[in-house]
Amino acid sequence: MSQPVPCHLSRPGVVCSLGDELDAISEALFTGQRGLEASDRYSPGILQTLGSVRSPLSDDSDWPTAHRSRNNRLLARALDGLAAPLSRLLETTPASRIGVVIGTSTSGIAETEIALATAGREGPLPESFDYARQELGAPARFIAERLGITGPCYALSTACSSSARALASARRLLRSGECDAVIAGGADSLCKLTVNGFASLDAVSPMPCLPFSRNRQGINLGEAAALFVVTPKTGGIQLAGIGESSDAHHISAPRPDGSGAREAMYQALAMAGLSPKAIDYLNLHGTATTLNDAMEAAAVHSLFATPPPASSTKALTGHTLGAAGALEAAFCWLALAHGRLPRHVYDGDYDPEIPALPLVDHSRAARPLRATLSNSFAFGGSNASLLLTRDDTDSEAS
């Protein structure tokens, strides 16, 4: 197997329903504290279980109109968490050699909803409305303009695999020589379109979700932003392998045999030069829908003779859609940095109709962690897996 190409992931900047400080987020991950709440904000009179961000966000009233959105306010908070690596980066690297790649699916659509509600069916849109806020490229443009970056700048929108693919794209930009560094990750914010759209698909659980339980009823939606500074240096925590596939089985349902998901995991292992038994922890896509969990369990068993300890952190944060790939990569970063495993929270009643997985419970002690794999599987069969490894020669990983 070929040697992996260096692709260093900085300490991440994160904001999600578990908070915006990595120490607090880590404690919630490792002890299994849910960040979910019941709310009727998006469907008055109908309570839904959501992973809403409750951290204070920046006031955007003095920002350019095109940048005023909750999505960008989430990104601004994640950028605050990247202050140290960003400061070093901007001091040492020409702006033209830094790229920005962001995964999203909502962008600024929530602000368009507000504008349409203000205008009504027939009235003109308010003067404050700016269509640019809802363009899919808006989050990447916001970061580039905020930091004065002039290198490659774009967004990816492949539903739930968006920000995992953004990190994969960052790795390619480094390897191709187009960039010396990339700010990569994703953001998605809750809005009526998303919450009610998933409800119309009968994909949403009214109660806290139960990934891999026989009693699972569907997903809980959430919002988040997660960002990394990605550089081609050795040591620390590395994005050692990426795997991507597109099985195009159905517009929303996964391929039942999990072959596309398996291919993504296999590619990530092959790129990293690792065998399945080298993986110490698997962050499952684990949406708690009937079809996804069955498919993913089958895919894992088709690749791993003995599956590694695994968990779905969506039971803690909700499914953050376009932000999920980067957010869960950040959770893997924290697992590697702390040598602890994120808990799997559900009712303990594993579905006997699907292959058994060794889900992380409160009694499972972490062994030394060197390699983690994180899955993101999206509508349309857009599959991505990210493989992170730890090298103790860099103090950032301690």
Catalytic residue positions?
Answer: 160, 285, 319
Distances (CA, A) of 264 to 158, 329, 374: 15, 15, 10
Nearest to 382 by CA among 284, 243, 257: 243
Q: Which residues of 199-209 are buried (b: 16+ CB within 10 A; e: fewer)?
A: beeebbbeebb
Residue with tokens 């020409």: 94
Q: What are the tokens at 272?
A: 């990293």
Residue 198 parent element (H or E): helix 192-200
- DSSP for 245-295 reads EE----SSSPPTT-HHHHHHHHHHHHHHT--GGG--EEE------HHHHHH
Q: What is the dihedral of CA 99, 72, 241, 95, to 10 degrees?
A: 10
Which residues face 221 on adjacent strands? 50, 319
